[in-house]
Structure 1
C-alpha cells in the first residue's frame, strides 16, 4: 500500500525531531534497568558540583531516559551515608570516598569525573587570627568544613599534616557549603575555613580571609598532593553497576555532556542557568569564581591515570592507621563509561 504524501511528511518530520535530540534516540536504543533513581550530593550549589546541576537543569538526564532526583546534604560524608544506607542510588561526591569505603570492605566505584582538581581552599580568618604567620598558629583553633569527614576535612588535615600538625590539634566544625559557611566565618564561629566557591570568593572579596592553601588550579593541586588529584565524580556500589550497566552509562552520558557544555560556554550563560540561590547575592562574583575554577572542572569525565594513586596517598596521610596495602585501586574507578560517553557525544 503506497504511503500518502501527508503521511510521508509526518514521518520525515518526526525523524527530524528525533534527529535533533540525539540523547532521546540513544536512550530508546537501550533499555534502562532503572529509570527512576536518586543522586545524593553534599552542597549542590558549589561549583565543585556544577556538572551535576548542569546535567539536571539542561535536561541531559531526561534525554537519557532517566528520572533523576537530587537529594542535597550538608556535606559529602552525609551524601555517602545516604547511598550506603540505601536512601540514594548514586553519589555525586569526592573521588577519595571510594577508597575509604573499600578500606571498610565496601566496594564502590567512580564511573565519571566532574572535577580534575579538588577546588578546595583553606583560609584563615583575619578577624580571629589577624596575626597568623604559619600553620602552627592553627593549633587549638576551630576550622570550618562542609561536614566532618568530608573532602574539605581531608584537604585541611592533609595540609596540616605536611606542617607537623595532627587532626586532633584542631577542632573541625561542620558549617555546610552555602550562606551558613560564610556566616560562620564572618561571625567568628570558626577561625579558619576549608570550603569551595562561591563561598571562598565571597569571603575573599570581603577581605575576611587570608588564603593559605588553594587547589583551584591543576598546578597548585599537584604541588599540594604530589600528582593529579581527581575530585568530584559520580560513584556507586559495584553491585549497582553490575546490575544496571545501561543506567550507569546513561548517567555517564549526561555528566560528560555537562562537562563539555561547561567548557564551551561563557560564565554569563552558566550564571543564567543556575538557580539564583547559587549566586549568593552577587552574580558578578559568581562568574569570576567560575573563571577561577574552570580549569579544575573535568573537560571529558575521564579519571587521570595517576589520579587514583594520588588520592590513595592523600587518604593514607589523612586517616589514622590507614593500611594502604589492603586497597586495590583498580577497583575504585573505571573510564569505561566516560570513554564511551565521549564517543557518543564528541561535541556539545
Structure 2
C-alpha cells in the first residue's frame, strides 16, 4: 500500500511540474503554415520546430505541405493557412491579379535558387558552352527554378530555346526519374536528388544555379496583409523563432542540423541530409537573417521580367515588410 501511495504521489508531482517545464499546448497560439514543398532547402523552418524555438515564443506551429505555388497561395488566401512559405514571386502574381487583400512578405528563409546543373558524366573542365547543342531537361515553364535557370543560361551567352534541345513538359515530381531513365544529357535538379545521383553514379554536379544567379528572395514567409495587421505580435514571435533558427543552422555542425531536421525526412538517409545541409550552407542558400532587402527584390523582378512573366514591377514597400525581421535582429 505504501509503495502504491508513493507512486501516486510521484505521478502527481510530475504532472504538476510539466507545465512549468515547457507550458501546456493549450497555452500556445496555434499557427497553420502551408509550405510549397517539403525540402531540406527549408532546414531552418524545421529547426524552429524541433529545437523548440516556436514553442519558446508561445507558438504551436503546424506545417502542411501543399505541393505547388498555386495551391499554396490558394490555401493562404482562402484562410486554410495563416502563413505560407513559398517563392516571393507568388505575392507579385496575386498583386497583378488585383487582389484587395495583398499578400505581404515578412521573413525571408532562403536567398538563392536551390537547383544544380547535373550531367551524366563528370567534367572537371566544364564550361557553360558545353551545353550548346545538348538535350537539357529543365524545370516547369513559369516556375521560379526554370526562370532562374534560363536567366543564368542567358548570362552565360546561351539561348535556352535555340542553343539547346530544351525539354520542359515533364512534371516536377518526375524530372529526376526521367533523367535516371535516360532522358537528357543535362538536368536542373534540386537536392537531395543531386546528391543521391552523385552517390549512385547516375549524375555529377557541375555548377550551382543559386551561386550563378546571385541573391534573390527565393523562399519567403508571407501572410495576407489583413492577418498581419490583426496579429502583429504573432508575426513578430514567428519571425523571432525563424531568425533564431537561421543563426543556429550556421552555428551548429552539419551533422547536428541534419539530426535535428531528420524527423521531417524519414525516407532520407541521415548522411544524405548532412551532405545537403553542408552544400546549401556552403553557398549560403539559407539566409542568415529574415530581411528581404530591396536589391534582392529588384533582381527577382528582373528575372521574372526576363522570362516574360511580369506584367508590372511592384515597389519593395508595397509587398515587403521588413520591420518584423529588423526587430527580431535587435
**Any unmatched runs of 5+ in structure 1?**
1-13, 127-131, 344-348
The reply on whether 1:104 has 2:97 as its aligned counterpart is yes
The reply on whether 1:296 has 2:289 as its aligned counterpart is no
| 1:42 aligned partner | 36
The reply on whether 1:152 has 2:136 as its aligned counterpart is no
The residue matched to 1:306 in structure 2 has which SS? helix
1:86 to 79, 84, 88: 79
| 2:168 aligned partner | 171
Q: For residue 324 of structure 1, report the CA deviation from its aligned partner.
A: 3.5
Distance in 2 between residues matched to 1:156 and 1:82, nearest whole Å: 27
Distance in 1 between residues matched to 2:134 and 2:317, nearest whole Å: 37
Task: Answer yes or no: is the 8 Å Cα contact 2:262–2:273 preserved in 1.
Answer: no
Q: How does 1:207-226 map to 2 (within 5 A)?
A: 207-211=201-205, 213-216=207-210, 220-221=211-212, 224-225=213-214
**Any unmatched runs of 5+ in structure 2?**
1-16, 122-127
Q: For residue 184 of structure 1, report the CA deviation from its aligned partner.
A: 3.8
**Distance verdict in 2 for CA 1:279–1:195, change over 3 Å:** farther
The residue matched to 1:121 in structure 2 has which SS? strand
Residue deviations 1:156-185 (CA, integer Å, cap 9, x gap): 343355522349954242233xxx654343
User: What is the root-mean-square deviation of aligned Cα atoms in Å?
Assistant: 3.4
**Distance verdict in 2 for CA 1:281–1:252, change over 3 Å:** closer
Q: How does 1:68-147 map to 2 (within 5 A)?
A: 68-106=61-99, 107-125=102-120, 134-137=130-133, 142-143=137-138, 145=139
Distance in 1 between residues matched to 2:204 and 2:141, nearest whole Å: 22
**Distance verdict in 2 for CA 1:149–1:73, change over 3 Å:** farther
Q: How does 1:2-17 map to 2 (within 5 A)?
A: none
Task: Give the total of aligned pairs.
Answer: 299
| 1:63 aligned partner | 56
| 2:125 aligned partner | none
Distance in 1 between residues matched to 2:130 and 2:143, nearest whole Å: 24
**Distance verdict in 2 for CA 1:330–1:135, change over 3 Å:** farther
So what's the TM-score if we normalise by structure 1? 0.73
Task: Answer yes or no: is the 8 Å Cα contact 1:142–1:172 preserved in 2.
Answer: no
Q: For residue 89 of structure 1, report the CA deviation from its aligned partner.
A: 2.1
What stretches of structure 1 move > 6 A for 4+ residues in a row?
Answer: none
